[in-house]
Structure 1
Amino acid sequence: MILSLITGLELSKPTSFRLPGFSVIGHRGIGMNVLQSSDRRARGVKENSILSFNSAAKYPIDFIEFDVQVTKDDCPVIFHDDFIYSEENGIVNESRVTDLSLSEFLLYGPQKETEKIGKTLMRKSKEGKVLKWDVDLDDSLCTLQEAFEQVEQTLGFNIELKFDDQTVYEREFLVHILRSVLQVVSNYAKDRPVIFSSFQPDAAKLVRELQSTYPVFFLTDAGNEIHNDERRNSLEEAIQVCLEGGLQGIVSEVKGVFRNPAAISKIKESNLSLLTYGKLNNVGEAVYMQYVMGIDGVIVDFVEEIIESTTRMMIRPPPSSSPLPSPSKDDDVAITRPEFSQKEISFLLKLLSQLIQH
């Protein structure tokens, strides 16, 4: 029995979970980095760092999302890409993150000890170029334990469990990796809200099997890319994964939801929560449309801008004849979902579907 393999983990007490209204979630902290972007916001703060997480915590958000992998000596670290790059004497070196020890991993980039100089940290772009990882505000690489210890305690963690898309994993290996992550969560999470998520369907189901304290969401790009594992190719398949594994929700690429809006009601009928991610979530109007549609939350890169634009769009002052007392000068006006007819919503969804297909 798997539980015997994680002796010592105190994660068996079921905890009720509900997303706090419509949630704006910071992607990799205050936002992901795009190295050659002309938008300075995409190169502002080093993603997946303590600095990025605490920068996001300055805004009224409930969660940040970040990526966790496990080093070869069983330490959960926070890093997105499967491979890490550096350059020495004009030669670019590539290492798989999970093939490094913790001490080797932490040698990349800025060092915590100011007198030390780390390896030049580089990154491969989508075009295949290996570029120096330049940002305005840099920070050292970090572990999951450090995030729990050093990030604002009220900020929830959406922990994405990272696995290589091209690798087929044995169950025993997944148990070993997940045990390393769960041990850190057990030791350091305290009262912090935590959500687990993964694109790897077996890992998502297994982390739910190993513990019942924290909700688990299945990540899917909902058909925007086609994978050998058919469970990853549609929202309908994602629903099935969740129902089979007793998972609590889905995190979908937003275009997949806009292309298949009928899936939203199926997800809700299955008693699942729905979050989205993707570039469209950096557009205030697209985020507001999801709020109207009843989606539970969005993962965004431009935290400050999306918080401002969605708050502005969602505020609905009470009419002058309202029997409700006026809000005090210290309170924001109550946020309520606008009431649209089903015909109006259908029209807006068809319009969005047309727009994102071009």
Structure 2
Amino acid sequence: MALRTVLVSDVPCLPDSVYGLAEGLDLSKPKSFRMPGFSVIGHRGNGMNVLQSSDRRTRGFKENSILSFNSAAKFPIDFIEFDVQVTKDEIPIIFHDDFIYCEENGSVSESRVTDLSLSEFLLYGPQREAEKTGKTLMRKSKEGKVLKWEVDLDDSLCTLQEAFERVEQSLGFNIELKFDDHTVYERESLVHVLRTVLQVVFDYGKDRPVIFSSFQPDAAQLIRELQSIYPVFFLTDAGNHIYNDERRNSLEEAINVCLEGKLQGIVSEVRGVFKNPSAISKIKESNLSLLTYGKLNNVGEAVYMQYVMGIEGVIVDFVEEIVESVNLMMIRPSSPPSLSPLPSSPSKDDGAITRPEFSQKEIDFLLKLLSQLIQH
């Protein structure tokens, strides 16, 4: 079996009915639910941008843009994932990085995204009015180089409200709540930001499927505490990078965060799952869902292995290729995306996927093959 990259991520107070700290809301236990079959989720829409990559697919559409979201919606996927922060004038906007860069008069300037007002934020990059010219948008690479943010099909920056209003209604949203890894947040500050985001979701979400997720464990638990309508997942690097906050450093700690905060699931870096496959059964025994993200999710065989192992969905960059791979290798349900309660005794006619049965020896063999990819 060859391993290859497949070619075939002060507003008004919320009403008591949705404000989880209000009396009368039962948070005694998390509500179980299942993903709509094996879910393919578009990372930042139709894929994240990697400016220094030789693979043109990483620069096809501006990530985290309406154009990228609707491009991903053309494929039979269930959700898109994107990053939400809040501006200093309390508007939830969609942008991944903590800092934004631009070039003016030959010099590069840097601003923290959350220190900008909405009007200042929208001045970066392409402008909605054809006669206007925005600031030249730059981006810092992991190596520290500041590069011009060039893509084949560009688009203006956008707000969370615009995403709800302008993106194909049937497409679910996986809203990652972004916070700076190097900042210590007080509870009051987190609650204020989360209320601001929730207000937009409740005002404009309608019947769209929505999942919240965050690497910030306190934020993940608080968004669950503040509402009980939408599922909340805890994001973890699963030990691939070590943080000062121990809760972020393993799948075991992620399970504890979820159980303590009554969250509904985990989104793990995929290598963490392949290195620790026994955690999958622990996660399922804890009545939690499991999704993954990471570069290996752009490899069809790695995605198929997760399908076999019982993982419920993958966040991917190469949406078209992985969707094609999924359709070739797996049986997908015909029902539209929904987040429905998990039945106590699933029916054979409920549209669920029937996974192939592998012996433990066969699974161990496949995991050894995948370990070759993990080394790179």
TM-score by length of 2: 0.87
Bigger shift: residues 28-37 or 307-316: 307-316
Amino acid at match of 1:347: F
Alpha carbons of structure 1 residues 287 and 9: separation in structure 2 relative to 1, 3 Å: farther
Alignment partner of 2:170 out of 139, 154, 158:
154
Please tell me whether residue 143 in structure 1 is matched to residue 159 in structure 2: yes
| Alignment match, 2:256 | 240
Asked whether the equivalents of residues 161 and 196 of structure 1 are also in contact (C-alpha less than 8 Å), the reply is yes
Amino acid at match of 2:303: V
CA shift, 1:16, in A, is 6.8
CA shift, 1:338, in A, is 1.2
CA shift, 1:337, in A, is 1.4
Please tell me whether residue 309 in structure 1 is matched to residue 325 in structure 2: yes
| Alignment match, 1:325 | none
The separation in 1 between residues aligned to 2:64 and 2:284, in whole angstroms, is 31
**Secondary structure in structure 2 of the residue aligned to 1:121:** strand
Asked whether the equivalents of residues 82 and 97 of structure 1 are also in contact (C-alpha less than 8 Å), the reply is yes
Matches within 5 A, 1:21-170: 21-170=37-186
Please tell me whether residue 348 in structure 1 is matched to residue 366 in structure 2: yes
Amino acid at match of 1:352: L
The separation in 1 between residues aligned to 2:354 and 2:263, in whole angstroms, is 28
CA shift, 1:310, in A, is 1.8
The separation in 2 between residues aligned to 1:248 and 1:6, in whole angstroms, is 25
Structure 1 gaps of 5+ residues are 317-333
| Alignment match, 1:213 | 229
Greater relative contact order, per chain length (Cα 8 Å cut-off, separation 6+)? 2
Structure 2 gaps of 5+ residues are 1-11, 20-24, 333-351
CA shift, 1:352, in A, is 2.6
CA shift, 1:6, in A, is 3.5
Map Cα deviations across residues 206-225 of structure 1 (whole Å, 9 max, x no partner). 00000000000000000000
Amino acid at match of 1:144: L
The separation in 1 between residues aligned to 2:251 and 2:217, in whole angstroms, is 13
Amino acid at match of 1:68: V
Alpha carbons of structure 1 residues 10 and 77: separation in structure 2 relative to 1, 3 Å: farther
Map Cα deviations across residues 26-55 of structure 1 (whole Å, 9 max, x no partner). 000000001121111000000000000000
| Alignment match, 1:7 | 14
| Alignment match, 1:324 | none
Asked whether the equivalents of residues 37 and 353 of structure 2 are also in contact (C-alpha less than 8 Å), the reply is no
- Identity percentage of aligned residues: 85
Matches within 5 A, 1:291-302: 291-302=307-318
Map Cα deviations across residues 324-343 of structure 1 (whole Å, 9 max, x no partner). xxxxxxxxxx9631111122
| Alignment match, 2:357 | 339
CA shift, 1:9, in A, is 6.5
Alpha carbons of structure 1 residues 337 and 197: separation in structure 2 relative to 1, 3 Å: same
Map Cα deviations across residues 120-160 of structure 1 (whole Å, 9 max, x no partner). 11100111111110000000000000000000000000000
Please tell me whether residue 357 in structure 1 is matched to residue 364 in structure 2: no
The separation in 1 between residues aligned to 2:241 and 2:282, in whole angstroms, is 22
CA shift, 1:315, in A, is 5.0
Bigger shift: residues 8-17 or 24-33: 8-17
Asked whether the equivalents of residues 199 and 232 of structure 1 are also in contact (C-alpha less than 8 Å), the reply is yes
| Alignment match, 2:286 | 270
**Secondary structure in structure 1 of the residue aligned to 2:136:** coil
**Secondary structure in structure 2 of the residue aligned to 1:54:** helix
The separation in 2 between residues aligned to 1:302 and 1:284, in whole angstroms, is 10
Asked whether the equivalents of residues 103 and 136 of structure 2 are also in contact (C-alpha less than 8 Å), the reply is yes
Asked whether the equivalents of residues 9 and 182 of structure 1 are also in contact (C-alpha less than 8 Å), the reply is no
Alignment partner of 2:196 out of 177, 180, 183:
180
CA shift, 1:314, in A, is 1.9
Map Cα deviations across residues 281-339 of structure 1 (whole Å, 9 max, x no partner). 000000000000000000000000001012112259xxxxxxxxxxxxxxxxx963111
| Alignment match, 1:288 | 304
Alpha carbons of structure 1 residues 38 and 208: separation in structure 2 relative to 1, 3 Å: same
CA shift, 1:87, in A, is 0.7
Compute the RMSD of aligned alpha carbons: 1.7
| Alignment match, 1:323 | none
Alpha carbons of structure 1 residues 71 and 9: separation in structure 2 relative to 1, 3 Å: farther
**Secondary structure in structure 2 of the residue aligned to 1:6:** coil
Asked whether the equivalents of residues 32 and 264 of structure 2 are also in contact (C-alpha less than 8 Å), the reply is no
Map Cα deviations across residues 153-193 of structure 1 (whole Å, 9 max, x no partner). 00000000000000000000000000100000010000000
